């Protein structure tokens, strides 16, 4: 059950391949390696990122959804996200950071090449809705993603104190 999402639209070029968000996977590893985060905190951040950004359906209506679908396919195809025999999601944290670094390098290589052909091939390979993405989406739909985040705004708290 693979649904091709890329329809060959005009205007695709090397700039259409964006690796900015996967830099998180590489960056968090670097920051953790400097002692800013524990290994457990690194895993929590990566898990929240993985859970928080999967589109819940086959939709490429905006660039962010398209990029996220491509990232998940990349992680699945390169072993960063796996499924056990019961369909339970398994995150290989070492591979997620490797995949993030590799995907970022791939995106930079495509952008520097300015090759429309390379960009189109890359997008066609990863901008697809697969059985695995459907499993992920269905497992993540019932999760309230707001539970994994909070708003930190000390200035707003001070202003509210003065208003009351």
85-139 pLDDT tens trace: 887 888 898 888 888 888 888 888 998 998 989 988 998 899 888 888 888 788 7
The CA distance from 122 to 1, in Å, is: 20
Average pLDDT, the chain: 75
Confirm if 139 and 148 have CB atoms less than 8 A apart. Answer: no
Of the pLDDT bands very low, low, confident and very high (cuts 50, 70, 90), residue 1 is low
Q: Determine the pLDDT at residue 93.
A: 87
Q: Determine the pLDDT at residue 92.
A: 92
Q: Determine the pLDDT at residue 18.
A: 53
**Annotated domain spans of the chain:** 3-163
DSSP state of 106: H
Backbone angles phi, psi at 140, to 5 degrees: -90, -15
Backbone angles phi, psi at 90, to 5 degrees: -125, 125
11 conformational bin, left if phi > 0, alpha if psi -120 to 50, beta if neither = left
């Amino acid at each position: 059950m693979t649904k091709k999402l890329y329809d060959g639209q005009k205007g695709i070029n090397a700039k259409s391949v964006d690796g900015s968000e996967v830099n998180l996977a590489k960056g968090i590893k670097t920051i953790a390696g400097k002692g800013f985060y524990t290994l457990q905190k690194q895993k929590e951040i990566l898990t929240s990122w993985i859970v928080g950004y999967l589109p819940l359906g086959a939709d490429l209506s905006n660039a962010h959804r398209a990029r996220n679908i491509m990232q998940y396919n990349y992680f699945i195809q390169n072993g960063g996200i796996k499924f056990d025999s019961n369909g339970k999601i398994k995150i290989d944290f070492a591979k997620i950071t490797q995949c993030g670094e590799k995907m970022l390098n791939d995106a930079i290589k495509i952008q520097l090449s300015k090759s429309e052909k390379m960009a189109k091939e890359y997008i066609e390979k990863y901008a697809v809705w697969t059985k695995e993405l459907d499993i992920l989406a269905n497992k993540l739909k019932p999760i309230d993603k707001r539970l994994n985040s909070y708003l930190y705004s000390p200035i707003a708290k001070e202003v509210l104190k003065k208003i009351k």
